[in-house]
Amino acid sequence: MPNVLDRLRERCLRLPEAREVEAWGAPTFRVKTIFAMYSAADRHANGDDPSAWIKMDLVNQGMMIKADPARFFVPPYVGVKGWIGVRLNEDTDWDGLSDLLWDAWCASVPKRLAKLYPDGPT
C-alpha cells in the first residue's frame, strides 16, 4: 500500500499542469502558485499524523474545522490566509481530499486554464 505522501502526490500531479517543487524542505504542488503542500508528522507540531495543507478561503476553513476538528485544522503560517490542514492517516477520505485539491487547483490557476476543465480533470 502506498504511503500517504505517495497518495497525496498522485492526486496532486494528476491535476492539469501540476508539478511538484520542494520548498522549505517539503513537497509543494503548484501550477502558477502553490495549491497544496505536504507536512510530515514530525514537522510543525502536526502531532502523530502527516498532513496536507490545502489552499482554501477563511469562510470554508472555519466551517470545515467546526464540522470535523478531528480531520481538519488551521495550519501554521498559511492558516491565517484560509488554508486548511487535513490530517493524513488510516481514516483519510481520499476522494474527499481529491475534491479539496481540485477546488484549490481551481483557485490557483489562471482563469483561461480553469475554463478548459469545467467538469474537472479527466
**Boundaries of every domain in the chain:** 4-115
104 CB neighbour count, 10 Å cutoff: 23
pLDDT value at residue 1: 42
Low-confidence residues of the chain: pLDDT under 50: 1
Q: Could you tell me which CATH number the domain at 4-115 has?
A: 3.90.1150.30
What span, in angstroms and rounded, lies between the C-alpha atoms of 88 and 49?
6
Going by the DSSP 8-state scheme, the letter that residue 81 receives in this structure is G
pLDDT value at residue 49: 86
pTM, two decimal places: 0.90
| Cell numbers describing residue 87 | 490530517
Distances (CA, A) of 35 to 70, 71, 73, 78, 115: 22, 19, 17, 11, 17
35 CB neighbour count, 10 Å cutoff: 27
